[in-house]
């Protein structure tokens, strides 16, 4: 498949716009790839995204050149989790995979100046497809019912309890040694 076929959700496209406007590309390799994705992208609503397209927060299986397959979650780069679980779009490989369809490949020049071909083998989980499945099963309503409701209560805090008493030299708190 040609790497001209890029499909992004409106959210993913907006994230690329922000990345383009705010990211400092020290290598000079990320910005051309971002611009290329944005220029060639077909932008769809999340409800219309086919289930075999890699979107942000999708778990994908991919291969670089003739190497072994690897599985990662495409992220925005702001995720704090186990090392090796995420592939941020702030990296060349993460950005290259975003918007690809299963079986589609993209060539890119890596940090060492070597051209490498990255192939999206399988989208193992896609949040947009998962949401559609839950809605079809009617589970979206059940999930909403189980979530705790937040209620703002006027005057919920007693002002007198929140005020600390002061003594000369600081708070009237004996500290942990008093325990």
Q: Which two tokens stand for residue 122?
A: 């399988």
Q: Which of 140, 19, 154 is nearest to 89 (CA)?
A: 19
* Residue 2 banded pLDDT, cuts 50, 70, 90: very low
Q: pTM above 0.75?
A: no
pLDDT tens, residue by residue, 134-178: 888 876 555 555 555 555 556 555 555 444 444 455 545 555 665
CA distance 20 to 31: 7
Q: Is 55 helix (H, G, I), strand (E, B) or coil?
A: coil
Residue 101 forms beta bridges with which residues? 53
Residue 148 has a pLDDT of 57
CA distance 123 to 24: 29
Q: Which two tokens stand for residue 4?
A: 């001209």
Q: Which of 56, 52, 61, 59 is nearest to 89 (CA)?
A: 56
Q: Determine the average pLDDT of the residues in 61-72.
A: 95
């Amino acid at each position: 498949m040609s790497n001209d076929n890029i499909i992004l959700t409106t959210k993913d496209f907006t994230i690329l716009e922000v990345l383009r406007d705010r990211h400092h590309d020290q290598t000079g390799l990320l910005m051309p790839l971002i611009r290329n994705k944005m220029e060639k992208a077909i932008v769809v609503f999340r409800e219309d995204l086919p289930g075999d397209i890699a979107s942000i927060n999708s778990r994908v299986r991919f291969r670089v050149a003739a190497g072994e397959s690897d599985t990662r979650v495409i992220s925005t780069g702001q995720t704090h989790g186990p090392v090796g679980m995420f592939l941020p779009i702030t990296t060349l490989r993460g950005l290259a995979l975003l918007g690809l369809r299963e079986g589609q490949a993209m060539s890119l020049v890596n940090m060492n100046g070597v051209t490498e071909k990255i192939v999206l083998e399988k989208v193992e989980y896609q949040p947009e497809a998962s949401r559609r499945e839950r809605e079809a099963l009617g589970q979206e309503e059940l999930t909403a019912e189980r979530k705790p409701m937040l209620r703002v209560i006027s005057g919920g805090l007693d002002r007198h309890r929140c005020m600390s008493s002061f003594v000369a030299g600081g708070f009237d708190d004996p500290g942990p040694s008093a325990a």
